[in-house]
Amino acid sequence: MAEKSMELTEFLSRTYGFQVQDIWAAKRGFYGETWKVRAKEADYFVKIDYWTHHMESYQASLPVIQYMTQQGISFIPQVVKTKDGELSGRFNQGVAAVFAYVQGELYENPGVEQLYGKMAQVYQLRPEGIAMDRETFGTEIADDFQRLQNAQGLPEQVAAALKEKQRVISGYMERLKFFSAQCSQDMGNFHITHGDVGGNCILNGERLSIVDWDGVKYAPVERDAWILLCEWRHLEKVNAILKENNIEYRLRQERLGYYCYSFFFHYLGEYLRSMLNAREEKQKQDLAEKCMDYLQNSWIFRQLARADLF
């Protein structure tokens, strides 16, 4: 770790011109490494993504984050440019980006009014000319899962658990296709969405910040709100907040259903892909344990049971 911090210090000096005074590992984010940096100029947060399958989306998110902060969104940490004006740099075969450091603690259960009151400011933006992944309501994510589950190199216990749940997972695929067909008939009412907004908040006193926009996408609000499926009163609160912010839209059942099944395969696919790309056996086994817990005890099954009623 000491050697890595020295390498990173040299990288930040060379690429960003920072006069680093202290640097230590942080505990934020699933992908790669995260660091807090205290420099003479300010404090910074550094996120380095080494996952080949994720680096492209990570880099693509940075111009969108820059756009949002330039539009006055103050609860998103700003991206810090390199000396050459770039939004990221290459570090040890990974992509490194630097953000203004946000003080506070991870806060995973913000109130609906607090969270969506802020997100409504993002939904009001019209990102014309900003390159961004756009929702298609496709089913490729399920096809990707099928490919991954048959790949060589998955831990035996994960392969066995997937086989045991094959019938259930096949049912989820059919439901995803059903909602995909419904949703693809209307490609309107899209906004900048986070994709995991409730689990990526930092609270400092009464100040709430929203971080980790790696999965940013131009999509309907349901992409953020589906997580509230089991609390219909919370979904109605989101509808009220949208109306208060002059966003004439109400959450739609078929889109909530689509995202519930889509994200089931998204999370599962991320576990499988990460295990296949793991550089060390310990890392692979740690991911296997998390994947097994996801397949057996995940919170998402409650949402899926609700979506099964649609």
Task: Among 12-16, 55-59, 300-304, name the one with the lowest average pLDDT.
Answer: 55-59
Closest CA to 140 of 176, 89, 95, 182: 176
Average pLDDT, the chain: 94
Predicted confidence (pLDDT) at residue 247 exceeds the cutoff of 90: yes
Mean predicted confidence (pLDDT) in 230-249: 96
Half-sphere exposure of 174 (CA within 13 A, CB side): 7
pLDDT score, position 2: 66
Predicted confidence (pLDDT) at residue 28 exceeds the cutoff of 70: no
Other Cβ atoms less than 10 A from the Cβ of 156: the count is: 8
Closest CA to 264 of 220, 238, 229, 216: 229
pLDDT score, position 162: 96
pLDDT score, position 106: 87
pLDDT score, position 33: 87
pLDDT score, position 54: 84
Whether 77 contacts 99, CB under 8 Å: yes
Question: Three-state SS for 184?
Answer: coil
Share of the chain above pLDDT 90, in %: 86
pLDDT score, position 280: 87
Distances (CA, A) of 97 to 26, 46, 106, 189: 14, 6, 20, 31
DSSP 48-76: EE--HHHHHHHHHHHHHHHHHHHTT-TTS
pLDDT score, position 31: 59
pLDDT score, position 108: 81
The tens digit of pLDDT for each residue in 44-91 reads 999 999 877 788 999 999 999 999 999 999 999 999 999 999 999 999
Mean predicted confidence (pLDDT) in 238-258: 98
Whether 88 contacts 183, CB under 8 Å: no
Whether 220 contacts 191, CB under 8 Å: yes
User: 18-27, 51-60, 254-263, 283-292 — which one is most confidently predicted on average?
Assistant: 254-263
pLDDT score, position 23: 93
pLDDT score, position 52: 78
The one-letter code for the residue type at 2 is A
Q: Quickly state the pLDDT bin for 199 (edges 50, 70, 90).
A: confident
Predicted confidence (pLDDT) at residue 102 exceeds the cutoff of 90: yes
Determine the Cα–Cα distance for residues 215 and 61; give it in Å rounded to an integer. Answer: 7
Mean predicted confidence (pLDDT) in 133-151: 96
Question: Three-state SS for 47?
Answer: strand
pLDDT score, position 29: 56
pLDDT score, position 1: 52
Mean predicted confidence (pLDDT) in 168-197: 97
Mean predicted confidence (pLDDT) in 197-226: 95
Predicted confidence (pLDDT) at residue 217 exceeds the cutoff of 70: yes
Predicted confidence (pLDDT) at residue 30 exceeds the cutoff of 60: no
